[in-house]
Amino acid sequence: MSEAVGRIEEIDYIDVRSVGPHAEPRIVPKGAILSVRGWATVTEVPGISTGVYVGVDDALPLEASYGIDRPDVAEVFGSEAYASAGFRALLSTAHLDAGLHTVVCSVRDDEGRLLPLEGSEEFTIEAPFDQLVLESPRNESTPIRIDAIEIDGEPSDEPIVAGATSIVTITGWAVDRPRMGLGRSIFAVIGTLVVRGSYGLPRPDVVADQGGDRYLESGFTIGIPLDVLDPGSHSIAIRMVGADGATVYDGPELSLNVTDHIVETAALLAAEITTLASIDEVVVLDREGNICPPGASGLQATRGDQLFIRGWAIDSENDSPARAVYIGFDRTVSVPTNYGLERQDVAAVLERPHLVACGFTAFLPTAGMPAGRHRMSLRVIDQSGKRFFETSQQVEFEVTDARLED
């Protein structure tokens, strides 16, 4: 009788502001994409496992990407049959409650049976203030100020008008004046959606204005991916949880209109310059955030799925990070990425520490794409903001009206 062997080796997460690795990878912000890696196979006839499935708690297990090279596993077992025993699964966390959750894994043998992998791993969904921020009464007795609004890195006024694939970034500062100090966390609330910002950024200007060094780390930035919102009008409320962890203060409200059009790159001069850039990974996620395995002809997405794209790019002519990076489709349409993420691995290989902020991610919907084969490449805007170059690397994928079977 066959048995499953293997283990879950890594649990981390991917969010819109930070790919990872993270200092506390198993404390996962609600809404981030959970990344599970490891290796697995069956004992009786190793190497002919037909699939690996990963599940959270009692939910239906989802198929992982299987067949990743693991020469270390083959070396341990002394057999090349284990050389492709690696797997990776990407799962949505948007539906999970705050608190502790368990990841389990199963292996499908050549007869179609699902064999459970011994052992499990745990992670924690961090959303301690979500309900508090949504349900608390209004309280406006402390300053919360917005300094700037950007759409895909470009300045914007209110009302905010942006495409469904854009990212709106709001920066400012906030203090808990009644308690003469800083708050606990800053949030943007859009309907029932709660987006946690980065709070604690240095703001010496606020020290000078408000008085007291206790306000030095009062700055914040909030990145809101619009692909999670329906097209139409929305209101963005900025709210802060005070130092006591119980009081919620209300800041400004902003008007937002999400269009259903794909954003196109601004008219720039195409430049014949060299660069260094790469699309490292493209993953198809269905409407529930489940990873879709590649089809017989490669990447295949059903209309309505999302593509998660990860990579990096630099402006090598100016030896600096780029101004912005876009994903170009079929040389006609382009959509912005979330650029400026930390890529220590790239900086180390290039031996250029100052280029560490060269990473990007993008979650791109396929709902508006025609069925058929498509090609994507990178369009990198240089530091001047006046020129762009398109990389020679191209990744092909297919959009269909129905899920294709292998």
* Residue range 54-67, pLDDT digits in tens: 889 887 677 787 88
Contact between 99 and 125 under an 8 Å Cβ cutoff? The reply is yes
Mean of pLDDT values over 375-389: 79
pLDDT class of 264 with cuts at 50, 70, 90 = very low
- Location of each CATH 2.60.40.650 domain in the chain: 4-126, 130-259
Beta bridge partners of 116: 106
pTM beyond 0.85: the answer is no
- What number does CATH give the domain 130-259? 2.60.40.650
Say what the pLDDT of residue 333 is.
Answer: 60
Which of 86-95, 286-295, 356-365 is predicted least confidently? 286-295
pLDDT class of 238 with cuts at 50, 70, 90 = very high
pLDDT class of 273 with cuts at 50, 70, 90 = very low
Mean of pLDDT values over 210-217: 82
Percent of the chain with pLDDT over 90: 16
CATH 3.40.50.720 assigned to domain 4-126? The reply is no
pLDDT, tens only, 219-235: 888 878 776 678 889 99
CA angle 294, 115, 46 (to 5 degrees): 75
- Location of each CATH 2.60.40.10 domain in the chain: 269-400
The residue count of the chain comes to 406
CA gyration radius, the chain: 23
Percent of the chain with pLDDT over 70: 86
d(CA 379, CA 374): 16
* 3-class DSSP state of 136: coil
CATH superfamily assigned to domain 269-400: Immunoglobulins (2.60.40.10)
